[in-house]
Amino acid sequence: MSEDLEHNRPIRSYVIRAGRLTGAQRKALDTHWQDYVIEHKPEPIQLDALFPTQSNLIVEIGFGMGDSLLEMATEQSDSNFIGIEVHRPGIGKLLHGIVRHKLTNLKIIHHDAKEVMLHCFGPASISKILIFFPDPWPKKRHQKRRLLQPDFISLLAEKLSPGGEIHLATDWQDYAEHMMKVMEASEELSNRMGSGAYWPQPQRPGTNFERRGKRLGHGVWDLLFGKGESAA
């Protein structure tokens, strides 16, 4: 599986959008990038040198503007967080928040998540992986671009520690059904809610994207899958 991801050029699950940077975002990128953004290298991150306190590691893939990630890192000061994002406005906003809240438990990687997960984390090194509202690629001809595919789920499971969990959320029912099918096909993971069941009361902050979707009448589906026995 890892060799396939290594040697075959991956289909990108995102498109770089030319978002306009605000003055605060641009200043944060210029001033704080070197302090909080991990330089991507195709080698394992030295986690023990990255954070002042060693703790369980939570990784969010595609944090958008970073509001929910900032809230989680602020409230869960006993956990360490790494956010992966390719869009610079969101990184700039999150950097501004990290500095404002004086956080030492949150770092950022600006790179493709598939390559980061393949190279930068060792086996069983992550306690929880979060993927909230990834691009659903709703048109049938584009669905091969969806991030949640069997090979990627197998890679994520490899990086999870025993008892670790993957929490997914989407506001597209078709993508929710796709997620459920792919996740339940995994031999490494099991549905914490029971076979075929979504998480009715998920433990996560709401997002602006989610609130906008609800105003438009969209439903929201959360999935929680774990590796081995529950961490609780």
Catalytic residue positions, numbered: 135
Bridge-based pairing of strands 126-132 and 160-170 is parallel
Query: What are the DSSP calls for 156-190, one per residue?
Result: HHHHEEEEEEEEEEES-HHHHHHHHHHHHT-SSEE
One-letter amino acid identity for 157? Answer: A
Distance in angstroms (rounded) separating the CA atoms of residues 150 and 155: 9
Distance in angstroms (rounded) separating the CA atoms of residues 86 and 13: 11
Bridge-based pairing of strands 221-227 and 189-191 is antiparallel
Q: Which of 203, 177, 208 is nearest to 192 (CA)?
A: 203
- How much helix, strand and coil, in percent to the nearest 5, is found in the chain? 40, 20, 40
